[in-house]
Amino acid sequence: MDLGEDVSSLFGKRSKTSSNSTVNRSRTKGTEEAPTVFNQKKCNAWFRQYSTPSSPDTIGPEGVEMFCRDLNVEPENIALLVLSWKMGAKQMGYFTLQEWLLGLTDLQCDSLAKLQAKLNYLHSLLLDSSHFKSIYRYAFDFSRDKDQRSLDIETAKAMLGLLLGRQWSLLNSFFQFLDQSRYRVLNKDQWCNVLEFSRAVDVDLKNYDVDGAWPVMLDEFVEWLKVNRGESNIQ
Amino acid sequence: MRIRAFPMTMDERYVENIWSLLKNAIQEIQKKNNSGLSFEELYRNAYTMVLHKHGERLYNGLREVVTHHLESKVRQDVLASLNNNFLQILNQAWNDHQTSMVMIRDILMYMDRVYVQQNNVDNVYNLGLIIFRDQVVRYGGIRDHLRHILLEMVVRERKGEVADKLSVRAACQMLMVLGIDSRAVYEEDFERPFLSQSAEFYRSESQRFLGENSASVYIKKVEARINEESERAKHYLDESTEQRIVAVVEEELIQKHMKTIVEMENSGVVHMLKCQKTDDLHCMYKLLGRVADGLRTMASCVSAHLREEGKALVNVDESGANALNFVQSLLDLKDRYDTFLGKSFVNDPIFKKMISSDFEYFLNLNLKSPEYLSLFIDDKLKKGVKGMTEQDIELVLDKTMVLFRFLQEKDIFERYYKQHLAKRLLLNKSVSDDSEKNMISKLKTECGCQFTSKLEGMFKDMSISNMLMEDFKNHIQTSGTSLYGVDLSVRVLTTGFWPTQSSATCTLPLAPRNAFEVFRRFYLAKHSGRQLTLQPALGSADLSAIFYGPRREESETKEKADGPSSSTPTSASANGPRKHIISVSTYQMCILMLFNTRDRLTYEDIMNETDVPKKDLDRALQSLAMGKPTQRVLVKSPKGKDILPSSIFAVNDSFTSKLHRVKIQTVAAKGESEPERKETRSKVDEDRKHEIEAAIVRIMKARKTMQHNLLVSEVTEQLKSRFLPSPVIIKKRIEGLIEREYLARTPEDRKVYTYVA
Residue A86 in any domain: the answer is yes
Residue B489 in any domain: the answer is yes
Same structural domain, A48 and A102: yes
Residues of A with CB under 8 A from a CB of B: 149-150, 187-190, 192-193, 196, 211-213, 215-216, 219
Tally of CB atoms within 10 A around B415: 21
Residue B298 in any domain: the answer is no
SS3 A150: coil
Calpha distance B294→B286 (Å, rounded): 10
Same structural domain, A121 and A167: no
Terminal-residue alpha carbon distance, chain B: 118
- The answer, for B689 touching chain A at a CB cutoff of 8 Å, is no
Same structural domain, B544 and B595: yes
Q: Which of A127, A145, A163 corresponds to the end of one domain?
A: A127
Write out the DSSP string of B338-386: HHIIIIISTT-HHHHHHHHHHHHHHHTTSTTHHHHHHHHHHHHHBTT-T
Residue A214 in any domain: the answer is yes
Alpha helices in B569-707 (DSSP H): 586-594, 603-610, 614-625, 674-703
Same structural domain, B147 and B242: yes
Terminal-residue alpha carbon distance, chain A: 29
Amino acid (1-letter code) at residue B479 = S
Q: How many CB pairs under 8 A join A and B?
A: 32
Calpha distance B149→B189 (Å, rounded): 12
pLDDT, one tens digit for every residue, chain A (235 residues): 444 445 555 554 444 444 444 444 444 444 455 567 888 888 888 888 888 888 888 988 888 888 888 888 887 888 888 999 999 998 888 889 889 989 888 888 888 888 888 888 888 888 888 899 999 999 999 988 888 889 999 999 999 998 998 889 999 999 999 999 999 999 999 999 999 999 999 888 888 988 888 999 999 999 999 998 887 655 4
Domain total of chain A: 2
Residues of A in contact with B739 (CB under 8 A): 149-150, 187-189
Same structural domain, A106 and A188: no
Same structural domain, B17 and B132: yes
Per-residue model confidence (pLDDT) at position B713: 94
Same structural domain, A197 and A162: yes
Residues of B in contact with A213 (CB under 8 A): 708-709, 731, 745, 750-751
The CATH number of the domain holding residue B694 is: 1.10.10.10
pLDDT average, residue stretch B465-481? 89
- pLDDT tens-digit profile of B84-127? 888 889 999 999 999 999 999 999 999 999 988 888 999 999 99
Domain encompassing residue B65:
12-136
- pLDDT tens-digit profile of B385-442? 777 787 888 889 999 999 999 999 998 998 899 888 988 888 888 888 888 888 998 9
- Mean pLDDT highest for which of B259-273, B337-351, B667-681? B337-351
Same structural domain, A92 and A144: no
**Cβ distance A97 to A103 under 8 Å?**
no
- The answer, for B709 touching chain A at a CB cutoff of 8 Å, is yes
Q: What are phi and psi of B705, to 5 degrees?
A: -130, 150
- The answer, for B756 touching chain A at a CB cutoff of 8 Å, is no
Residues of A in contact with B731 (CB under 8 A): 213, 215-216, 219
User: Residue B378 pLDDT > 60, yes or no?
Assistant: yes
The CATH number of the domain holding residue B241 is: 1.20.1310.10
- The answer, for B708 touching chain A at a CB cutoff of 8 Å, is yes
**Cβ distance A75 to A7 under 8 Å?**
yes
Contact B709 A193 (CB under 8 A): no
- pLDDT tens-digit profile of B656-680? 888 888 888 776 545 567 777 888 8
Q: Which of A71, A98, A127 corresponds to the end of one domain?
A: A127
**Which distant-in-sequence residues (6+ apart) come within 8 Å of A10 by Cβ?**
A92, A143, A155, A158
**Cβ distance B103 to B39 under 8 Å?**
no
Of chain B, the percentage scoring pLDDT greater than 90 comes to: 33
Tally of CB atoms within 10 A around B306: 22
Cα-based torsion angle of the residue sequence B26, B27, B32, B33 in order, rounded to the nearest 10 degrees: -90
Same structural domain, B191 and B161: yes
pLDDT average, residue stretch B341-363? 93
Residues of A in contact with B709 (CB under 8 A): 211, 213
The CATH number of the domain holding residue A144 is: 1.10.238.200
- The answer, for B748 touching chain A at a CB cutoff of 8 Å, is no
Measured between CA atoms, the residue of chain B closest to residue A193 is B750
Cα-based torsion angle of the residue sequence B632, B633, B638, B641 in order, rounded to the nearest 10 degrees: -40
Burial of residue A92 (CB within 10 Å: 0-12, 13-18, 19+) is buried
Residues of A in contact with B715 (CB under 8 A): none
* Alpha-carbon distance A159 to nearest alpha carbon in chain B (angstroms): 20
User: Residue B641 pLDDT > 70, yes or no?
Assistant: yes
Per-residue model confidence (pLDDT) at position B344: 92
Residue B544 in any domain: the answer is yes
**Cβ distance A214 to A193 under 8 Å?**
yes
Write out the DSSP string of A78-109: HHHHHHHHHHT-SSTT-EEHHHHHHHHHHHT-
Residue B555 in any domain: the answer is no
Q: Which of B107, B136, B165 corresponds to the end of one domain?
A: B136
Residue in A150, A189, A212 nearest the CB of B738:
A189
Q: Which of A76, A107, A127 corresponds to the end of one domain?
A: A127
**Cβ distance A57 to A91 under 8 Å?**
no
Residue A3 in any domain: the answer is no
Residue B266 in any domain: the answer is no
Measured between CA atoms, the residue of chain B closest to residue A195 is B750
Residue in B709, B739, B750 nearest the CB of A187:
B739
Calpha distance A141→B257 (Å, rounded): 71
Angle value at C-alpha B326, between B324 and B330, nearest 5 degrees:
115
**Which distant-in-sequence residues (6+ apart) come within 8 Å of B592 by Cβ?**
B543, B545, B582, B584, B624, B633, B634
Per-residue model confidence (pLDDT) at position B348: 92
Could you tell me how far CA B625 lies from the centroid of its own chain?
50
Domain encompassing residue A185:
134-229
pTM across the whole model: 0.71
Contact B709 A211 (CB under 8 A): yes
Alpha helices in chain A (DSSP H): 3-15, 40-48, 61-71, 78-87, 97-107, 112-125, 129-143, 153-164, 171-180, 188-200, 216-228
Calpha distance B8→B142 (Å, rounded): 47
* Alpha-carbon distance B378 to nearest alpha carbon in chain A (angstroms): 41
Mean pLDDT computed over every residue of chain B: 86
Domain total of chain B: 5
